[in-house]
Structure 1
Amino acid sequence: MNAHLSHDHIHPQTSREDNFKLEWLLQSIERNRFLPEPDPEKVFVGDGNYRAIGAEYLGHFVRIGGLKPTDRVLDIGCGIGRMAVPLTQYLDPDTASYEGIDPVKDGIEWCVQNITPIYRNFRFCQVDIAHELYNPQGAMAGDEVVLPFCHASFDFVSLVSVATHLPHREIVAYAHEVSRLLARGGRVFLTAFIVSPEDIERAEARPNFIPGEEQGSWIADPVAPLGAIGFDRGMIESALEGAGLKVDLVSLGHWRGTSSSHYQDVIVASKPGGPA
């Protein structure tokens, strides 16, 4: 693996002028009181300000992941639309498309009722994947995941706070499915906890990881190991490469107590054979 490792990163295609325009857009999204936003008690994953976090990740998608306004986007683990809402202001309504999937029915229903009627190129569907915390009665096992989309349907796939809640075998399965769904030159933006011994020795690190039962895994809570799970460096990258993807970047997050623009670690990989 020859991916660039950094604590922060700006995609080389993001010019100073584009970055200025993006910053203006992100600020306008945070101020726009007319954008859809669920009641706080309905937000079932993640803490913090719904609009601000969504805008923050739109910035990461563009600056780190190279997202383009014309991309066909798949948002795996879309939840209750936190990434989708700011993307409505960035993706071109005529040429781009967005598909959001999640195992939690309530979040999908909110998105269908509040986003799709206004933004017709944004669609959402529940995929009944089993997860011990979010969908314990799901019909499809996570390590047998098959998503309802055709081969090479997407230019950009996001998995934000997905790998942080999955055992390694399921991350491997998702990597193969993402590889199937990406067009050549397409990119995947994935967040994770990449853990090394020096990370867990830092007093500032949050979560405070301990070794998990699975070899190479690290967990924050033995009672709910999938509440926050990390892996040794190289394990997630190898899963992506084993699925035929090229790891382009590993950008370290500030969960470990170091400086970074993002909390979780970010891995960007691409499907070989097309434009970057």
Structure 2
Amino acid sequence: MNAQVGNRINAYEALPALSEESRLSWLMEAIERNRFLPVPAPENVFVGDGNFKAIGAEFLGHFVRIGDLSPSDRVLDIGCGIGRMALPLTQYLDEATGCYEGVDPVGEGIAWCVKNITPAYPRFRFCQIDLAHELYNPGGSLVGHEVVLPFLDGSFDFIAMVSVATHLPLSEIAAYAREAMRLLAPGGRLFMTAFLVLEGDQERAGARPQFAPGAEAGTWYGDPSAPLAAIGFDKTVIKQAIRSAGLDIKRVDLGHWRGINSTHYQDIIVATKTGAA
């Protein structure tokens, strides 16, 4: 498997005549076609739906185009699940200078990644964090609003939180934002997806999910009987939580969950830690 995958990486790096966008598009298509990449059995994928490799390749594009990810970045994937984001990154991150750490509360997903990804890509490592979550890890021993991840200050250039803030209360999102501020090197980026509920979103035909006001001001529930299944926030509320952590919001891209044209479903927030890289 390593030889085949390695050849694909070398082919990507050997296309200097093409624009960066053309090279990225080529790589995204190659990832979808790559039959050597390990893919978990569908019954083991406990978050998300759709084509596993296609969605991963799509987010690689968002990481680069929207989040300014570069091959040399040190990446932390908070809520890495069963490797949906990790697999395409194995084909993009530089094998000498880039690296990846994935954390998640679900032990089964971490175990699959350790068994199927790390042996072929030793700079990709995975760790279970036993955080309590009523849907994904109800017996967890740690509380989310006190989260401290086991990494040194300034260890990362890029932190991804894909479909994480959509399942957390605001206090825990604020805690992760504080951790991102601690863990990012100057110039590093936090890439977070969320549901930002704006005025008029609920009246748009085709908006999915349809949100109802939540228990706290500025929060919205897709299903009031299971609030953390899909939770949204007023834009000002979640932006304030990120800014209070010390991060600067660089970009907000709205998603097509609200019934508008967009290249992505959830909304995307990119925040940076100021200072020279």
Q: Same fold (TM over 0.5)?
A: yes
Q: Number of residue pairs matched?
A: 261
Question: Residue deviations 1:9-51, cap 9 Å, x none?
Answer: xxxxxxx810000000000000001101000000000011100
SS in 2 for 1:70: coil
Return 5+ residue gaps in structure 2 as ranges: 1-17
Residue number in structure 2 paired with 1:234: 236
Letter in 2 for 1:128: D
Structure 1: distance between partners of 2:275 and 2:96: 26
2:169 is matched with which residue: 167, 174, 191?
Answer: 167
Residue number in structure 2 paired with 1:179: 181
Question: Alignment RMSD, CA only?
Answer: 1.0
Return 5+ residue gaps in structure 1 as ranges: 1-15
The answer as to 2:212 corresponding to 1:213 is: no
Runs of 4+ in structure 1 over 2 Å off: none
Structure 2: distance between partners of 1:256 and 1:170: 24
TM-score by length of 1: 0.93
Residue number in structure 2 paired with 1:125: 127
**Shift in Å at residue 215 of structure 1?**
1.1
Residue number in structure 2 paired with 1:29: 31
**Shift in Å at residue 237 of structure 1?**
1.2
Residue number in structure 1 paired with 2:148: 146
Structure 1: distance between partners of 2:141 and 2:166: 21
Residue number in structure 2 paired with 1:100: 102
Residue number in structure 1 paired with 2:10: none
Question: Residue deviations 1:66-103, cap 9 Å, x none?
Answer: 00000000000000000000000000011111000000
The answer as to 2:71 corresponding to 1:69 is: yes
Structure 2: distance between partners of 1:18 and 1:197: 37
TM-score by length of 2: 0.93
Structure 2: distance between partners of 1:88 and 1:120: 10
Structure 2: distance between partners of 1:234 and 1:251: 14
Question: Residue deviations 1:153-197, cap 9 Å, x none?
Answer: 000000000000000011111100110000000001000000023
Structure number with higher relative contact order (C-alpha < 8 Å, ≥ 6 residues apart): 1
Residue number in structure 2 paired with 1:194: 196
Structure 2: distance between partners of 1:212 and 1:236: 14
Structure 2: distance between partners of 1:84 and 1:229: 25
Residue number in structure 2 paired with 1:42: 44
Structure 2: distance between partners of 1:192 and 1:28: 28
Structure 2: distance between partners of 1:46 and 1:272: 33
Residue number in structure 2 paired with 1:60: 62
